[in-house]
Amino acid sequence: MSTAETAGTGTARTAAPVTVRVPAKVNVQLAVGGLRPDGFHDLANVFLAVGLYDEVTATATAPGEGPRVTCSGPDTDQVPLDRTNLAVRAADALAARYGIVPDVHLHINKEIPVAGGMAGGSADAAGALLACDALWGTGASREEMLEICAELGSDVPFSLVGGAALGRGRGELLTPLEVGGAFHWVFAVAAGGLSTPAVYRECDRLREARGGGAGADAVPAPEASPALLAALRAGDAALLAEHLSNDLQPAAVSLLPSLDDTLSVGTEAGALAALVSGSGPTCAFLAEDAAAASDVAFALRASGVCRTAHTATSPAPGATVVRPAG
């Protein structure tokens, strides 16, 4: 088999395609601090990885042909297919660090809702990073990978790690969390998406409209709920349901009022609790067990308040190579 130069010498080595499976996430708590002078917000972000997956396949291309990206699955018309795609940016970042020419074709097979508040783009970035690391044989350490992830976006490090974690800072500073059992979820996918920056701006506007101010000096520092963390450790769905929270939910509903109907249908169908996932517009419903989740998903699909509904369990593993280079 012919090979090109090895990683670090300017050209990626030839290898078989590498496929990485990477999960969606749900924020079981998203506490948002005030607006900082740099335009960001401090967060206390309790992530759970859930069993809805994108797959990213990295294939070496001829010199001068990459990077390029293709995509298949629902709503792929909303996925950018140029160098602004977060997966391509991940490949570029790894290549730059190791002196590699990023001649690679990335194909994303999507199951995670696009622009749905479930970190689909971040998942693709983490998947591309791990796939290119294996394809090019860079041997990047876990610390280097997480550093690159944090440069790409606040949710990308958790997409790499998976499981459950508390994210501080902008969400990128992770502390693993213990989970004592499986949780059953339903995710209702809305028609259309919401812009994450727009939702944060609306959160700030609503805070100012209430008269409390939106700046970091006017909003309490975000903290994880001890009761919620205890519910995760115990694997207690009923207890977790009592403590789910998302500070961005009022802003998401303000921008897309139909989310209220979606949340109502799911709770009336037997969900233990409901909330907007992240910045939305996907709505997440916690169910008692798999049978209850199926009932909630059926009711949501039949109601017409969402485009579709998926069932999934958590926690799920982070980015995982499922077809390694050979």
Which sequence positions are flagged as catalytic?
Answer: 25, 155
Q: What is the chain's alpha carbon radius of gyration, rounded to the nearest angstrom?
A: 20
**Angular region, 193: left φ>0, alpha ψ -120 to 50, beta rest:** beta
Instruction: Say how far apart CA 184 and CA 193 lie, in whole Å.
Output: 24
Contacts of 80 (CB under 8 A, 6+ apart): none
Instruction: Say how far apart CA 121 and CA 109 lie, in whole Å.
Output: 12
* 276 contacts 283 by C-beta, under 8 angstroms: yes
Strands (E), 61-103: 68-72, 100-101
* 132 contacts 90 by C-beta, under 8 angstroms: yes
Cβ neighbours, 10 Å, residue 275: 24
Instruction: Say how far apart CA 200 and CA 206 lie, in whole Å.
Output: 10
Type and span of the H or E element at 96:
helix 86-98
